[in-house]
Amino acid sequence: MSVQIRNTNDLLSLSVGLRQSRSGSYVRLRLYRGHDQLEEFRVQPADIGVPASLSLRHLRSYPLPESLPLDLLEPIAASAAGHRQDLEPLWLLLERSTPHLAVLPWERMLRQKIDFPILRIPNLAVDPIFLEGELNLVVCASSPRAKPSFDVAEATRVVVAAARDSVPAGCRIHVFCDQAYHGELQGIGGKGVTVYDPEEAAQYDSGMEEGVIPEGRGGLVSPWLRWMSDRLRRVPVDAVHFVCPGFFRSDQGALALAQSPTYNRNRNWSHFVGVHELTAFLDGVAAWSLGLSAPRHDVWVLGLRLLAESLTYSRPGPVVLDDFGQLPSPGPLAEAFRFLYAPEFRDSPDCPELTIYCHPRRLKEYAGPESEFRASGQHLRSKETYEVYESAMSRTQELLESMGPRARGTGERGAAGGPEQWRQLNTVAASTERNVAQQANRLVLDRAIAEYSKIGVTGSTDSARADGAANAIRFVAELLSEPDDEGDV
């Protein structure tokens, strides 16, 4: 879907892929304006630091690349600047199935000569959410004993300060951390910050085999995720931000946390959370955004880079990765938060330290009438909301059923499309849980839009039906996005 997003929004983009030829492999970098290719550059993988293997044994001693050869970078920068219009960013697109490229710090390498912002194209075509009201941010920080230690309390303060400096409507921040740092974090940030007691997680046993990245297809097994999920049951979470090392095995990236919030004695293995379990957790708490911060700039940041890239294929929503590994100040992170969690359009953040995946319609220069409508603060209000909702959902199901098995197949985690998708919706929640239910409903609908946008079509009729289904879901999402005159929907 990233190519479709690029073409639809006429983006100035740099597509990077690893190709094979008779003489061996090479990296191909192609500059595009929408679907039109402008330039092509080729380079040997070894010349830009692409690792020959993603094995831990190989990468432990591998020098992490921080720059590109000038004879490659300078013509790319000159061409990008020459084709740039107004203040638009350059959009980066990594071709799928190229994990060897995903481990490189592309923003930092390119920004050595490109003097304007770089953002990454997401892989699911769902319009961005513009935050209205305060931000509900979850911060989870852990320093597993099996990895080089870092100051959890100081790193948490940086993220909290970044959020407080950037969201005009204010924040409610929920902090989860290792037991050893719980006392030190009491009172952090003052009003609006809740630090949860890790002792509450003592009841959760990971029951996991050491050194395994769980698939997460059967529900949550991580004691960290189960603890947070239970405590956040009545919280309308917007974003979750993890501060921890990463881990990787082959092309799989993962979070590396202490074995549990109350147990951190294993010197050999951390507790790993991979993309499938992380997706299940984010869906469960209805978070629409994810942040990742690496506490150190070492080989383990590669795991966070792989995880961030994988997650964009798993669920919609923005992802911000701070893998600089120093967390010196809240400045860069605050810029990202100010951009992603604003109620209106903002300019691209100029932060070469960060990797940011977001939909182009987050920026005003790419916004169509529908995005203008949503960002202006106007919302559908009607006393007949429920009747319209039922009618639209019924019509959507009919459209999907008429398309046959392609529209009714199961997704990656076994979540069925078609009518099964709607069973996740909760439209009659009690008033104390209505905000959480409303946000969860929207997340389900966004996921549905993404799934049905990917349905393979074989002709104009199928294409029209797929478009109709996606548009109906978008319409329902608008109906559920705001309370009407009679109360919350």
Q: What is the rounded CA–CA span in Å between residue 200 and residue 194?
A: 14
User: Any idea which of 236-240, 291-295, 465-469 has the lowest mean pLDDT?
Assistant: 465-469
Contacts of 246 (CB under 8 A, 6+ apart): 253, 254, 255, 256, 292, 294, 300, 301, 302, 303, 304, 305, 306, 307
User: How confident is the model at residue 34, as a pLDDT?
Assistant: 95
The more confidently predicted of residues 323 and 77 is: 77
C-alpha closest to that of 367 among 90, 9, 3: 9
Q: What is the mean pLDDT of residues 206-229?
A: 79
Q: What is the mean pLDDT of the chain?
A: 79
Q: Are strands 246-249 and 252-257 parallel, antiparallel or unpaired?
A: antiparallel
Containing 274, the helix (H) or strand (E) segment is strand 271-274
User: How confident is the model at residue 486, as a pLDDT?
Assistant: 36
250-274 pLDDT tens trace: 889 999 999 999 988 888 889 999 9
User: How confident is the model at residue 441, as a pLDDT?
Assistant: 57
Residue 53 pLDDT more than 90?
no
Integer CA distances (angstroms), 218 to 149, 276, 488, in order: 32, 10, 33
3-state secondary structure of 93: strand
User: How confident is the model at residue 353, as a pLDDT?
Assistant: 86
DSSP state of 382: -
User: How confident is the model at residue 191, as a pLDDT?
Assistant: 84
Contacts of 314 (CB under 8 A, 6+ apart): 275, 276, 279, 412
Q: What is the rounded CA–CA span in Å between residue 129 and residue 329?
A: 27
CA 132 from chain center: how many Å?
19
Report pTM: 0.80
User: How confident is the model at residue 442, as a pLDDT?
Assistant: 59
Q: What is the rounded CA–CA span in Å between residue 247 and residue 302?
A: 7
360-410 pLDDT tens trace: 999 988 876 544 334 333 333 333 334 444 455 555 555 555 555 444 333
Instruction: Please count the other Cβ atoms lying within 10 Å of the Cβ belonging to residue 385.
Output: 19
Burial class (CB in 10 A: 0-12, 13-18, 19+), 426: middle
Burial class (CB in 10 A: 0-12, 13-18, 19+), 67: middle
The more confidently predicted of residues 489 and 216 is: 216
Q: What is the rounded CA–CA span in Å between residue 331 and residue 385?
A: 43
User: How confident is the model at residue 143, as a pLDDT?
Assistant: 95
342-360 pLDDT tens trace: 988 988 999 888 999 999 9
Instruction: Please count the other Cβ atoms lying within 10 Å of the Cβ belonging to residue 410.
Output: 11
Q: What is the mean pLDDT of residues 46-52?
A: 88
pLDDT band, residue 414 (cuts 50/70/90): very low
pLDDT band, residue 471 (cuts 50/70/90): low
Rounded to the nearest 10 degrees, the angle between the axes of helix 460-479 and helix 385-402 is 160
Place of tokens 């197949």: 409
